[in-house]
Structure 1
Amino acid sequence: MTPASPFLDIRRIYVEPAAEALPRGQAVLARFPQAERIPVASHWRIPELRDGDPGDYLRPKREALVLGVKKGLTFRPNGRSADFIAPSTSNGCAMACAYCYVARRKGHANPITVFANIEEVLAATARHVGQQGPKRAPNQVDPRDWVYDLGENGDLSVDAILSDNVRDLVALFRGLPNAKGSFATKWVNPDLLGYDPQGRTRIRMSLMPHGLAKLLDVRTAPVAARIAAIPELHRAGYEMQVNFSPVVLREGWEAEWGALFDELDDTLPAAVKDQLAAEIIMLTHNAALHEVNLAWHPKAEELLWRPDIQEEKRSESGAVNLRYRTGWKGRWLQRFRDLLAARMPYCTVRYAF
Structure 2
Amino acid sequence: MISPTRIYLEPAAAELPRGREVLDRFPDAELVEVAGHWQIPELHGDEANARRWVRIKREALVLGVKKSLSARPNGRSAHFIAPSTANGCAMACAYCYVPRRKGYSNPITVFANIEQITGYLARHVARQGAMAQPDQVDDRAWVYDIGENSDCSVDALVSDNVRDLVELFRGLPTAKASFATKYVNRDLLDWDPRGRTRVRFSLMPERTAKLLDIRTSPVAERLAALDDFRAAGYEVHVNLSPVVVHDGWLEDWRELLEALGDAASPETRAQLAAEVIMLTHNRALHEVNLRWHPRAEELLWRPGLQEVKRSEGGGVNVRYRAGLKRGLLDELLALIDRHAPYLRVRYAF
TM range (shorter): over 0.9
Equivalent residue number for residue 8 of structure 1: 2
Equivalent residue number for residue 222 of structure 1: 218
Equivalent residue number for residue 294 of structure 2: 298
Distance 2:2 2:159 in 1: 13
Q: 1:10 to 1:40 in 2, by over 3 A?
A: same
1:296 positional shift: 1.2
Matched, 1:31 2:25: yes
Distance 1:251 1:58 in 2: 29
1:72 positional shift: 0.7
- 1:102 aligned counterpart, secondary structure: coil
Equivalent residue number for residue 38 of structure 2: 44
Give yes or no for contact 2:99–2:149 (8 Å, CA) kept in 1.
no
Give yes or no for contact 1:94–1:158 (8 Å, CA) kept in 2.
yes
CA deviation string 1:55-77 (max 9, x = no partner)? 32211101000000001101110
Q: 1:24 to 1:104 in 2, by over 3 A?
A: closer
Aligned length in residues: 347
Distance 2:291 2:39 in 1: 23
1:319 positional shift: 3.4
1:317 positional shift: 4.9
Q: Which runs of 5+ in 1 are unaligned?
A: 1-6
Q: Residue 276 of structure 2 is aligned with which of 272, 275, 280? A: 280
Q: Which moved more, 1:32-41 or 1:319-328?
A: 319-328
1:267 positional shift: 1.2
Distance 1:166 1:100 in 2: 21
Matched, 1:114 2:110: yes
- 1:227 aligned counterpart, secondary structure: helix
Equivalent residue number for residue 249 of structure 1: 245
Distance 1:137 1:316 in 2: 31
Map 1:171-190 → 2, pairs under 5 A: 171-190=167-186
Matched, 1:263 2:259: yes
CA deviation string 1:152-210 (max 9, x = no partner)? 00000000011110110000000001000000000011110011000000000000000
**Identity percentage over the alignment?**
63
Equivalent residue number for residue 154 of structure 1: 150
Q: Residue 320 of structure 1 is aligned with which of 316, 323, 328? A: 316
Distance 1:270 1:112 in 2: 37
1:104 positional shift: 5.4
Map 1:61-100 → 2, pairs under 5 A: 61-100=57-96
Q: Which runs of 5+ in 2 are unaligned?
A: none
Q: Residue 135 of structure 2 is aligned with which of 133, 136, 139? A: 139
Which residue identity is paired with 1:261? L
1:314 positional shift: 2.5
Equivalent residue number for residue 336 of structure 1: 332
Distance 2:78 2:249 in 1: 28
Distance 1:125 1:274 in 2: 30
Structure 1 length as normaliser, TM-score? 0.97
1:326 positional shift: 1.1
Q: 1:173 to 1:245 in 2, by over 3 A?
A: same
- 1:96 aligned counterpart, secondary structure: coil
CA deviation string 1:251-288 (max 9, x = no partner)? 00010000000001111001110011000000000111
- 2:288 aligned counterpart, secondary structure: helix
